[in-house]
Structure 1
Amino acid sequence: MTQTVKIGKLAMLLASLDESERELFIDAFEQVEYCQGKAGSMEVQKVIAAVETAAKRNGIISEHVYRETHALYHAILESLQGVTRGQIGVGNMMRTVGLRFAVVRGKPYDRSEEGEWIAVAFYGTIGAPVKGLEHETFGLGINHI
């Protein structure tokens, strides 16, 4: 199976590039559906809700199809594992995040039987809730729909 669209790579690019930088890659995004957003909080639930809301509002997933919400949720959790270095916790561990995120939906395989997949990427900062004490972080999660 040859991958035709690298949805994880595209999600990482979208999460990490600013608007002017993104313009350089605009042709790469024509084969997928995507959305972007920002989330900053000491509560993981708020980060999850921001991604889910953006994906629904932008038509990346249907709120009426459970398997799509379920796939997105697992991709978010996997991506948060990377952001938080395996311990999905923020405020309860006295840390906060300021993240940009991207959700990308596409067909990464040549064979149609493989169906659609969804990728979630986060890029931003994590650290103590004191300005200037945070560091960069990145996370990527991919799940089949």
Structure 2
Amino acid sequence: MSKNLRFGKFASLVALTDEDTARSLMPEFKNFRVITGKVGTMDLKKVIASVETAAKREGLINGDFYRETHALYHAIVEAIQGVTRGDLAVGDIMRTVGLEFSIIRGEPYAEDSEGEWLAVCFYGTIGAPIRGKEHEALGLGINHI
């Protein structure tokens, strides 16, 4: 199986478990950069900002290069659409999220000329802003740099 078909699987494993577990299950991703974090909010902008801040703070992307920030933004939006079921809203419609996220950077294609890609995966809960009134959700976004 080509590496590219498993890039999202690796990002999902990191979000669902942890980096060490994911790397032990998929050692072919040893050279990929990994960032993890958590965010809980009723404000979708805070979800986006949390992921962008983590990626910049940890040096996963260079914020001075538009193409890197742009690629990350699109991967985040694609992933959050999975969590929100395509409806890019939380607080406006009385929903809250509690999410763990992974950001993965690397070259998932066998052909080097395909370049680097980013994957963002969210795993956690979404639902009414009342404890116990939420359910699990998972979202994945992948974009080229």
Q: TM-score, normalised by structure 1?
A: 0.92
Count of matched residue pairs: 145
- Ranges in structure 1 where 5+ consecutive residues have no aligned partner: none
Cα distance in 2 for residues equivalent to 1:68 and 1:29: 21
The 5 Å alignment of 1:64-143 reads 64-143=64-143
Deviation at 1:22, TM superposition (A): 4.7
8 Å Cα contact 1:7/1:118 also seen in 2: no
- Residue matched to 1:35: 35
1:83 deviates by 0.2
Call closer, same or farther: CA 1:118–1:19 in 2, change over 3 Å: closer
Give the 3 Å change call, closer, same or farther, for CA 44–68 of structure 1 in structure 2. same
User: How many Å separate the matches in 2 of 1:42 and 1:98?
Assistant: 9
1:105-144 superposed Cα distances (whole Å, 9 cap, x missing partner): 1111111111111000000000000000000000000000
- Aligned residues of 1:7 and 1:105 also touching (Cα < 8 A): no
Deviations 1:19-52 (CA, angstroms, capped at 9, x unpaired): 7745743735412011000010000000000000
Distance, in Å, in 2 between the alignment partners of 1:61 and 1:38 is: 18
Amino acid at match of 2:68: E
Identical pairs, percent: 57
Match of 2:52 in 1: 52
5+ long unaligned stretches in structure 2:
none
**TM-score normalised by structure 2 residue count:** 0.92
Preserved contact between residue 10 and residue 22 of structure 2 (Cα < 8 Å): no
Aligned-pair CA distance for 1:57 = 1.2
SS at match of 1:67: helix
